[in-house]
């Protein structure tokens, strides 16, 4: 089962953070069809957040066709976002690890690595659009 | 129960002597929400809560709570729970005394819920309330407020005096109660960080006046902080309402309210 966490400094609203975490887990194959999401009560007790926030996130996921609520039982994954590219994740992760080691050896700290990755990612994405 | 108003205020005001503690407040709070009431000290938060609880009468305008007048008799009072500032309890009475008192004074008292919560919190019923820690006292006051089984629970700065851990535990208990019971909540704080995770609705009071009220997600979606090279806020695109603007030699930070997406302000 997936375990949620919240980043208070991200500026992303809590309900969207929950939605993103489920989508992430679906993309990475960590959540599969038939898996149950934590009950609203469990999430509320774990994160000390408003139950309406959890309900809103689950409704949004339901609207996207990713999960379905079975009244009195719970909320279940109905569709996966992991596609045929999942097989490529392993080798790509390894390359990324090697790159991270290189970056650390070159003296970059976590923040520099993140900044470098994000600017390169954004520039590349913009070039693709252009 | 979602959709109906738990609290409606029309031009509501309250004066202490010559000073207005709250003025011209018009407000609709839908049911089933956890509403955060924020503002600096002295902005009128306590006054608004006391008006809703029926502890104070309005000097102008009107307020209705769950469809009735706040001090409109025992049936009305039974529908509202109010945990006043600093979560007051009777220091000389034991935890068990508090529960007995709650059962005597409240027609809808849920004794099972009260006992179960006291056990879950690991409070000794024979303990005097004066000997409890701040966090335990706050939890006891919350238990009394919940066991009354109100439809609307008002809490005035419930976590202000608590350390971060007790604060989290208190808000956790409150959120679990909201998940379990059919309950609307209004809770005040002068710290927005207390309310970020717990509230889905926000009311901001400044200088006795209502500044903004609405769903947190809507407010976040329509307010933006723009930071960039120094510029004149007057030259922002039409439809961007400037809430505040700060400038240094080189940089401007502007908070705007707008329904339209923010484009690169270059």
* DSSP of A80-114: ----TTHHHHHHHHHHHHHHHHHHHHTT--HHHHH
- Rounded to a whole number of angstroms, the distance from the CA of B22 to the nearest CA of chain A is 28
Interval B117-170: pLDDT, tens: 999 989 999 999 999 999 999 999 999 999 999 999 999 999 988 998 999 899
Minimum Cα–Cα distance from B223: chain A residue: A11
Chain A residues close to B172, C-beta within 8 Å: 44-45, 48
Is residue A9 one of the residues assigned to a domain?
Answer: no
Interval B73-85: pLDDT, tens: 888 889 999 999 8
Residues A104 and A67 in one domain: no
- Rounded to a whole number of angstroms, the distance from the CA of A28 to the nearest CA of chain B is 27
Structural domain span for residue A55: 14-77
Top-level class of domain B5-219: alpha beta
* Mutation target vs A (from B175, B196, B227; most A CBs, 10 A cutoff): B175
Percent residues over pLDDT 90 in chain A: 59
pLDDT interval class at B1 (50, 70, 90): very low
What are phi and psi for residue B27, nearest 5 degrees? -155, 140
Q: Answer with the one of A57, A77, A97 that is the final residue of a domain.
A: A77
Residues A72 and A90 in one domain: no
Chain A residues close to B180, C-beta within 8 Å: 41
Average pLDDT over all residues of chain A: 90
3-class SS of residue B18: coil
Is residue A64 one of the residues assigned to a domain?
Answer: yes
End-to-end CA distance of chain A: 41
CB-based contact (8 Å) between A112 and chain B?
no
Is the pLDDT higher at B11 or at B254?
Answer: B11
Residues 54 through 93 of chain B touching chain A, CB cutoff 8 Å? none
CATH number of domain containing A54:
1.10.10.10
Residue B265 has pLDDT above 60, yes or no: no
CB-based contact (8 Å) between B172 and chain A?
yes
Residue B203 has pLDDT above 50, yes or no: yes
C-beta atoms surrounding A50 within 10 Å: 29
| Tally of CA atoms within 13 A in the half-sphere of B183 that contains its CB | 26
CB-based contact (8 Å) between A39 and chain B?
no
B179 and A48 in contact by Cβ < 8 A?
Answer: no
Indicate the domain borders of chain B.
Answer: 5-219, 230-257
Is residue A66 one of the residues assigned to a domain?
Answer: yes
Is residue A95 one of the residues assigned to a domain?
Answer: yes
Is residue A3 one of the residues assigned to a domain?
Answer: no
Chain A residues close to B200, C-beta within 8 Å: 50, 52-53, 56
CB-based contact (8 Å) between B171 and chain A?
yes
Q: Rounded distance, CA B142 to CA B150, Å?
A: 12
Inter-residue contact B252 to B234 (CB < 8 Å): no
B172 and A45 in contact by Cβ < 8 A?
Answer: yes
Quote the pLDDT of residue A28. Answer: 87
Picking from B169, B155, B188, B153, the residue whose alpha carbon sits closest to that of residue B117 is: B169
Domain count, chain A: 2
Residue A27 has pLDDT above 70, yes or no: yes
Q: Rounded distance, CA B143 to CA B94, Å?
A: 14
The b-or-e profile of A94-117 (16+ CB within 10 A means b, else e) is: eeeeeeeeebeeeeeeeeeeeeee
Instruction: Please state, in angstroms and as integers, the Cα–Cα distance from residue B159 to each residue in A85, A97, B141, B202, B246, following that order.
Output: 49, 44, 12, 17, 32
Quote the pLDDT of residue A38. Answer: 95
Q: Rounded distance, CA B77 to CA A60, Å?
A: 37
Q: Rounded distance, CA B157 to CA B88, Å?
A: 12
Residue A129 has pLDDT above 90, yes or no: no
Inter-residue contact A34 to A54 (CB < 8 Å): no
Is residue A7 one of the residues assigned to a domain?
Answer: no
Is residue A29 one of the residues assigned to a domain?
Answer: yes
pLDDT interval class at A130 (50, 70, 90): low
Q: Rounded distance, CA B35 to CA B133, Å?
A: 27
Is residue A6 one of the residues assigned to a domain?
Answer: no
Residues A69 and A99 in one domain: no
Chain A residues close to B175, C-beta within 8 Å: 44-45, 48-51
CB-based contact (8 Å) between B197 and chain A?
yes
Choose the closest CB to A51 out of B171, B178, B216.
B178
């Amino acid at each position: 089962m997936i375990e949620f966490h919240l980043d208070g400094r991200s500026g992303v609203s809590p309900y969207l953070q929950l939605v993103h975490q489920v989508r992430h887990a679906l993309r990475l194959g960590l959540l599969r069809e038939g898996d149950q999401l934590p009950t609203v009560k469990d999430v509320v007790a774990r994160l000390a957040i408003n139950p309406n926030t959890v309900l809103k996130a689950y409704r949004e996921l339901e609207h996207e066709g990713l999960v379905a609520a079975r009244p009195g039982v719970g909320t279940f994954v109905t569709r996966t976002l992991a596609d045929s590219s999942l097989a490529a994740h392993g080798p790509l992760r390894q390359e990324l690890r090697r790159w991270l080691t290189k970056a650390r050896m070159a003296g970059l700290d976590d923040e520099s690595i993140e900044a470098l990755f994000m600017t390169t990612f954004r520039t590349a994405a913009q070039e693709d659009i252009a | 129960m979602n959709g109906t108003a738990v609290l409606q205020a029309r031009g509501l005001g309250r004066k202490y002597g010559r000073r207005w503690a709250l003025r011209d407040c018009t407000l609709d709070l839908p049911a089933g929400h956890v509403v955060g009431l924020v503002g600096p000290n002295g902005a009128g938060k306590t006054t608004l809560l006391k008006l809703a609880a029926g502890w104070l009468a309005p000097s102008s305008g009107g307020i209705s709570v769950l469809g009735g007048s706040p001090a409109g008799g025992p049936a009305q009072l039974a529908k509202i729970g109010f945990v006043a500032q600093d979560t007051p309890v009777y220091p000389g009475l034991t935890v068990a005394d508090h529960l007995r008192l709650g059962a005597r004074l409240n027609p809808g008292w849920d004794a099972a819920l009260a006992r179960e919560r006291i056990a879950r919190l690991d409070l000794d019923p024979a303990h005097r309330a004066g000997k409890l820690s701040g966090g335990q006292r706050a939890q006891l006051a919350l238990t009394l407020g919940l066991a009354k089984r109100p439809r609307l629970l008002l809490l005035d700065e419930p976590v202000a005096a608590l350390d971060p851990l007790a604060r989290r535990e208190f808000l956790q208990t409150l959120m679990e109660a909201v998940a379990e019971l059919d309950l609307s909540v209004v809770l005040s704080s002068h710290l927005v960080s207390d309310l970020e995770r717990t509230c889905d609705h926000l009311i901001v009071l400044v200088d006795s006046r209502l500044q903004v009220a609405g769903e947190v997600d809507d407010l976040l979606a329509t307010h933006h902080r723009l930071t960039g090279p120094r510029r004149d806020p007057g030259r922002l695109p039409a439809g961007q309402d400037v809430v505040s603007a700060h400038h240094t030699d080189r940089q401007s930070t502007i908070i705007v309210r707008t329904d339209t997406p923010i484009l690169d302000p270059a």
